[in-house]
Amino acid sequence: MSTRLKTDILIIGGGSGGLSLAYGASQMGADVTLLEGHLMGGDCLNFGCVPSKALIAAGKHAHAMGTGAAFGVTPVLPEVDYAAAKHHVRSVIDTIAPVDSQERFEGVGVRVIREYGKFISPTEVQAGDTVITARRVVVATGSGPFVPPIPGIDDVPYFTNETIFDLQDQPEHLIVIGGGPIGMEMAQAHRRLGCKVTVIEGSKAMGKDDPEMAAVVLDNLRSEGVEIIEQAQAEKISGSNGNITVHTPKGDFTGSHLLVAVGRKVNIDKLNLDAAGVEHDRTGIKVDANLKSTNRRVYAAGDVAGGLQFTHMAGYHAGVLVRSLVLGLPAKASTHHIPWATYTDPELAQVGQTEAHARDVHGDKLTVVRFPYHENDRAIAEGKTKGLIKVMVVKGKPVGASIAGAHAGELIGMWAMAIANGLKMSAIANTVLPYPTIAEINKRAAGQYFSPKLFDSAMVKRVVRFVQRVIP
């Protein structure tokens, strides 16, 4: 016998976007029902952002033990307890988990049903024995690892980001298929924890990033011993547990463990979207700028909305939907101000247009300013001089920023704020920052924009000479 209930907002998916929307809408007085058939917190907490950064942190500690000679610290070979590093990963997840827990959300008035949801009509969703009618439905089911149909892959054991953090035995030689952010982060972390690592990429490693910036990262990974094979499409996989071979046009590569990190696929298979009249394809649900689908009652947020697949993008979508669904205010989503970062060492971060994109869009109206890390005093003091910043400027306003170097993920925030709020380069140049900090790289880049106008201008020089003559 089915139970029926009505709610103001039904949210399908308890990941970043769904939880942020549920919390905000409930706190503002809406009747909110949340469906989650798997783990509260979604991919980010359990399989993505949180565990990967925890493992990267373990790798950084191991790496530091062998790289202190320049600072007068005798390098030692770290004794890595791989299982203990994974225990650190689990403890980080467990520490954060209460913030995303069912108990917390029920405590603020959200009705939480631990079932998968599927549409049974344009206005009804079934979750277990419950049929729910909602004024508005928000699909926030996220994405999962995409495993390509490489011949032989089903005959060998392999890991994805959903399973690699459960591995307790240290890989002797980790083969990574995929040279994107997930693949490169995991490659460097495992190399620093004592594993031999080979990355196999069918095209160009970190190919979605600015090539100049990607080269900074890739050169450092190679210097640490990560083998990166590009333009090497995986054609076949063979072997067995502990002895797995990936066959490519550039040769065969054999390792003890295999990680597949070639991309993501949206989680829509269980939703029965056709029953709701919701148009979709392999990239996700088709939505307009209001995040509304072809069914006027159904919206999408996060990865499943078919755009940028970042946790903070899902959180941003939640904010847009709070304004429109809860407060009834006009709100549209955009992407021009959304930053992202890859947490390798050095880090790589981007917001807005890359140099190539900006040149295509703006042509000779574009000015590109640069500043290298090796001219920053804090970077020199800490031996973090690999890297640079590039800022793309049109009519005095930044339209994009690319940073490769230490703390790039933190530094990009200033440019994300500037682009989101339409600030001019003068706003960055006028900001006084503590000395010495890595953040001064941002200010120095802004200064580079104004330097030619001030120091190379004949008019400025004439004005200064006049002022110096007439002022007593």
The number of CA neighbours under 13 Å toward the Cβ of 8 is 16
- Residue 235 in marked binding region: no
Cα separation, 198 vs 171, whole angstroms: 12
Residue with tokens 């992202």: 340
d(CA 124, CA 128): 13
Cα–Cα distance measured from residue 409 to residue 49, given in angstroms and rounded to the nearest whole number: 13
- The answer on whether 328 is annotated among ligand-binding residues is no
Which of 156, 157, 225 has its CA nearest to residue 187? 225
Two structure tokens written together for 281? 């394809």
Is 181 annotated to bind a ligand? Reply is yes
141 is known to lie in a ligand binding site: yes
The reply to whether 185 sits in an annotated binding site is yes
How many angstroms separate the CA atoms of 150 and 405, rounded?
35
Torsion angles phi and psi, residue 388, rounded to 5: -160, 165
- Is 201 assigned to a binding site? yes
Known binding residue 456? Answer is no
Residue 349, strand partner residues: 341, 403
Residue 115 marked ligand-binding:
no
Residue 260 amino acid letter: V
One-letter amino acid identity for 311?
A: T
Q: Which two tokens stand for residue 428?
A: 């960055």
**CA-CA distance, 381 to 401, in Å (whole number)?**
25
Nearest partner of 287 among 317, 328, 329, 325, judged by Cα: 317
Reported in sequence order, the residue ranges of 271-354 that DSSP labels E, i.e. its strands, are 280-281, 284-285, 298-300, 339-342, 347-352
Phi then psi dihedrals of residue 355, to 5 deg: -60, -45
End-to-end CA distance of the chain: 95
Q: How far apart are CA 12 and CA 313, in angstroms?
A: 17
Alpha-carbon distance of 146 to 260, in angstroms, equals 8
302 carries a ligand binding annotation = no
| 263 marked as binding residue | yes
Do the annotations mark residue 182 as ligand-binding?
yes
Residue labelled with tokens 């640079």: 388
| Residue 196 annotated as binding site | no
Ligand-binding annotation for 319, yes or no, is: no
Would you say 79 is a known binding-site residue? no
The verdict on whether residue 178 carries a ligand-binding annotation is yes
Q: What is d(CA 128, CA 109) in angstroms, rounded to the nearest whole number?
A: 21
- 279 assigned to a ligand binding site: no
Cite the annotated binding site for FAD by residue number. 53, 117, 141-143, 303
Cite the annotated binding site for NAD(+) by residue number. 178-185, 201, 263
Cite the annotated binding site by residue number. 53, 117, 141-143, 178-185, 201, 263, 303
